[in-house]
Structure 1
């Protein structure tokens, strides 16, 4: 037996459409909800809804879309999985080592099941939190996942909802927590039937994707419930440990209580009920510490947030790039500020935005663990014209790793960076409608033409070769210099795990000195010194106190009277 329900507040009639035919649903007294109990229905039953005589449409809360985003929904009983993680106590997102991966390109098979074959590798690397890019059902087979339209379903080519439960269970069994990327600020253009059911969108606000998700206009109570119930379901029924909330600055909400604050309070209540930590990690462009301040103190209650300013400061320091949003970055002093104070733009003028931006982070109220930092992520690679990873020497990659993994912040790796993967990570789609496919293709080329790129040089998102080129090549792990870089990452993560000095997340606990010309820098973390040669030639990095011994180094390094003699693009960790 199964009771089908759907919210369609403006409908005159709603029918449940089964493979055997249509059945009229009854309107309830509960604000536009319709329901019908079907004795013979249960796990595996296919169904759809017809609103006022429309063609059958997927359930806005569909748990399973086995035939794609335009097909029938399918009942999925989340209680059928026999969980084996009874001893899992959970993991706080703050301070955990994150590893961002995309299921469709992490392995050649592109499935959750195939990804489980590399979990032991991630454990040996030192990862603590697997951060999955979106798995909600999206059009076609291949895509980033940010154009999902069935937010309760798991993309069928990845293995569907049952595969996600197995993946999380397996992660917990080897000591890995799991964070899932969810997108609540917009839906994709293909397979989005929500507007046919009710006021899921509003013209009261606009976003880069069109009308905003309705968070504060008529009908918004149920839309907010649709979002919050989705998040709580991932935590409860799929036992996820954290959610990464995409581009929360695009959640247009003028309600007395912002959606994020509501979600924070409901997540905290569920966490208390389940007896394990549940995290909410925000991607925000606002540079506003209010994002991670308690709701009771006027904040939005997120557990942590990404810090793009740290990325930009480190990326420009290593690459020399200064175009676009990198314009204010690149100097050693800028990196030093982001290492100590989180944001460069904390109320200062942003040249790229053309106005003052951000707010300062109060070290008396905040810890470094509330901010995620990284040398790369899916956006900073995939949104480049060619989807190319940073063009750096192995030594420069090792420097980037050292500065992230010894920082007082929560570190995140992007899949493959730990061995300096040569594969790009490009923007790819698989839209079935020719007009939409062409719009995506021409839009991508038009975007980069403004930066001087020729159209023929931009990879076609619809070409299967664009996706295929983005799949990790695991054979590289046994080749030089990938092998040496991987060993460096493993050693750094092992050092971080056993060093109280490196796990100290008090803001200001990292002291930094540097050459104004950008040749070298030294980061002090308690009794440890991270010595970095940014120059391609060997040099002596001066130190006030000569280290007692070398802990580890990438490149030849030697303690001398004046400090440390270190190879070009070399980096070492030394003990005082």
Structure 2
């Protein structure tokens, strides 16, 4: 329901306001009796019997619950559980839910229609550690900084209510409820409103492959919600062949986009969504999203280690038909191996070929396009060259690739400064959609560790499980070494993961921040105008056999070609005849790092640890390369 500057979405689960009161609903097909619990301040709760229909839905319409008061459900006379689709909680995930009127917030930016996909520059952040206060409200104070930096899209790690006060958010259990610690319903709406006032988009990371371990009561009264016989890394699979279950998640996506005016969603680990139906959940969800918001720029991104492509297909005009962009781990892994020379675990697939793989990845999408992966022991991926580069979201750091390290090390702390700054230029000026993690813009060296807020047996299991995960890494095969890994449940692990906003005041970090600002300004002025509607099969590449150097060319809009010359070796690279030397300085210089690196191209030499981007109308690479 939309009225002027007040927005609400009619979900199939949870509550719905009407003229006769509020409708309360719960799907519990196996339950014999369900009561609506009406919370009373300073007194005993009241219980109102609900009625069941043939599809297993229990309903009641009543005016006995005032807005701002608590409610819940009592199933078969047993424990009282919160509403799984609650918009807010009275307290933590174990208590009563809070009745919210979503129309109470008056939007200042009700006419905001978003921004086109090609303009996206992601800044991923964790609400609890981005500021000292760790709230949506405190984040507003940093929006001008992000806008002036050249960021166009703030991407929030999951904010759905989870057990405890601190955590990454990927173990949420109340998926419609913004975490109260962060500022709840109105706090998130004020943040989105403030971002839109500044021309910034807001994306939200959502998790549809599992629920967290603390506070998920659904299985106790609706075991049909899960397939116990189908396993995921987090337990039983969600039963997407049940219509109410499917609607729970699709409604959730539409709810965030409509009621909170969110500009886009990142769908976490869709390869772990075990959908047994003929229509994948992601396909139906994306189709419904596209249909629901024809007058807004609304975007979806996905994480999926299968390297599949059907979901990021483009139409004849080059526009996404379902998902706008896929997170490209291949690019990150190449960049990380080049910068650090690490080879443990999944990095083993990129050792010895990382430069060639990066060139291929930049030109054609994925590294693994059907090739055999030694780490995974199988063939991975499918051809992606037919997709435009804007079908991929690239990054050299993100929450996973930092936080899933034993000590939460950032790349700035692991690689040489010049190598990292070359990779930063490649990330921000290549035609793929770039993503940076909070603090990366100024080279933050503080860790971002994995943290939770569990205690008892669950806390012990999480701590020991975390440490045992690293037993397969050479540095942690010794048990004593693993004991040094920070305890996720210690409050200090959380506090140490906060962004240090004093760092940009120091010369070294201020210099990196200015470099980031310059790169993003160049992207906006020189690259973004050439990205709209570009097609696939437009990338070519050449990589050196003897040096960590490569050349990539992309055909962008209007026949303009963007060229990247990169040498990530310490020694100069004599550019071979495969690259037409007579054209090395044609066109317009976009960026040279370090300054003056382009001047050496006239003699056919690319200096050590350098990057040059040029725009011109003819392909510099002589003949087909692969």
Does residue 230 of the first structure (1) align with residue 252 of the second (2)? yes
| Equivalent residue in structure 2 for 1:356, among 330, 355, 379 | 379
Could you list the per-position Cα deviations for residues 159-186 of structure 1 after superposition, in whole angstroms to 9, with x for gaps in the alignment?
0111111111111110011110011100
Structure 1 CA distance for aligned equivalents of residues 538 and 438 of structure 2: 28
**Per-residue Cα deviation, 1:285-336 (whole angstroms, up to 9, x for no partner):** 110101223799xx99323211111211222122222221122214221111
Paired with 1:501 and 1:159, the residues of 2 have a C-alpha distance of: 35
Query: How far apart, in 1, do the equivalents of 2:540 and 2:393 lie?
Result: 19
1:438-449 aligned within 5 A: 438-449=460-471
Does 2:343 correspond to 1:345?
A: no
Check if 1:533 corresponds to 2:555. no
1:389 to 410, 430, 437: 410
Distance 2:542 2:278 in 1: 45
Q: Specify the alignment match of 2:10 in structure 1.
A: none
- Offset at residue 48 of structure 1 (A): 1.1
Q: Give the conservation status (yes or no) of the 8 Å contact 2:119–2:152.
A: no
Identify unmatched segments of 5+ residues in structure 1: none
* Residue 378 of structure 1 pairs with residue 387 of structure 2: no
Secondary structure of 2:210's counterpart equals coil
Partner Cα distance (1:229, 1:23) in 2: 28
Whole-Å Cα distance in 1 between the matches of residues 159 and 36 of structure 2?
27
1:210 aligns with 2:235: yes
1:468 shift after superposition: 1.0
Return the offset for 1:126: 1.1
Aligned pairs for 1:273-422 within 5 A: 275-293=295-313, 301-330=322-351, 331=353, 332-363=355-386, 366-390=387-411, 391-422=414-445
Q: Is the 8 A contact 2:227 2:239 kept in 1?
A: yes
The CA deviation at 1:445 is: 1.1
Partner residue in 2 for 1:5: 25
Residue deviations 1:394-427, cap 9 Å, x none? 2122111111122221111111111111111101
Structure 1's 449 and 465: CA in aligned 2 closer, same or farther, altered over 3 A?
same
The question of 1:143 aligning with 2:167 is answered yes
Change (3 A) 1:206 1:528: closer
CA distance in 2, matches of 1:509, 1:402: 21
CA distance in 1 between counterparts of 2:442 and 2:220 reads: 47
Q: Residue 31 of structure 1 aligns to a residue in which SS? A: coil
Match for 1:562 among 603, 614, 617? Answer: 603
* Structure 1 residues 424 and 9, CA gap change in structure 2 (3 angstroms): same
Mapping of 1:4-23 within 5 angstroms?
4-20=24-40, 21-23=45-47
CA gap of 1:377–1:517, structure 2 versus 1, over 3 A, is: same
How does 1:387-536 map onto structure 2 within 5 Å? 387-390=408-411, 391-431=414-454, 433-452=455-474, 453=476, 454-500=481-527, 503-504=530-531, 505-524=534-553, 526=560, 529-536=563-570
User: 99-108 or 530-539: which moved more?
Assistant: 530-539
Counterpart secondary structure, 1:521: strand
1:442 Cα deviation after fit: 0.7
Question: How has the CA–CA distance of structure 1 residues 519 and 215 changed in structure 2, closer, same or farther, with 3 Å as cutoff?
Answer: closer
RMSD: 2.3
Who is 2:100 aligned against? 76
2:127 equivalent to 1:103: yes
Secondary structure of 1:442's counterpart equals helix
Deviates more, 1:381-390 or 1:87-96: 87-96
CA shift digits 1:536-573 (9 cap, x unpaired) = 3566767713426755444343514414564x533344
Q: Mean alpha-carbon deviation: is it higher for 147-156 or for 456-465?
A: 456-465
Task: Summarize the alignment of residues 230-249 of structure 1 with structure 2, pairs less than 5 Å apart.
Answer: 230-249=252-271
On the 8 A contact 2:572/2:605 being kept in 1, the answer is no
Contact 1:281 1:306 in 2 (8 A): yes
Indicate conservation of the 8 Å contact 1:342/1:361, yes or no: yes
| SS state at 1:149 partner | strand
Count of paired positions: 565
Is contact 2:590–2:613 with CA below 8 Å preserved after alignment?
yes
Q: CA deviation at 1:498?
A: 1.1
Structure 2: gaps of 5 or more residues = 1-20, 555-559, 617-626
* TM-score scaled by length of structure 1: 0.93
After superposition, give the CA deviation of every residue in 1:220-251 in whole Å (9 maximum; x if it has no partner). 11011111111111111111111111100111
Q: Partners of 2:505 and 2:575 in 1: how far apart? A: 33
SS in 2 for 1:100: strand
User: Bigger shift: 386-395 or 224-233?
Assistant: 386-395
Q: Is the 8 A contact 1:316 1:329 kept in 2?
A: yes
Residue aligning to 2:621: none
Query: Quick one: structure 1 residues 292 and 407, their matched pair in 2 at CA, closer, same or farther if it must change by over 3 Å?
Result: same
DSSP-derived class of the 2:401 partner = helix
CA offset digits 1:376-396 (Å, max 9, x no partner): 111111111111012122212
Taking structure 2 as the reference length, the TM-score comes to 0.86
Aligned residue for 1:436, secondary structure, equals helix
SS at match of 2:95: coil
- How far apart, in 1, do the equivalents of 2:54 and 2:194 lie? 40
1:435 deviates by 0.8
SS of equivalent to 2:203: strand
Q: Which residue of 2 aligns with 1:547?
A: 585
Please, which of 284, 289, 301 is the counterpart of residue 262 of structure 1? 284
Q: Given the superposition, is the C-alpha separation of residues 288 and 69 from structure 1 closer, same or farther in structure 2, using an over 3 Å criterion?
A: same
Measure the CA separation in 2 of the matches of 1:202 and 1:501: 45
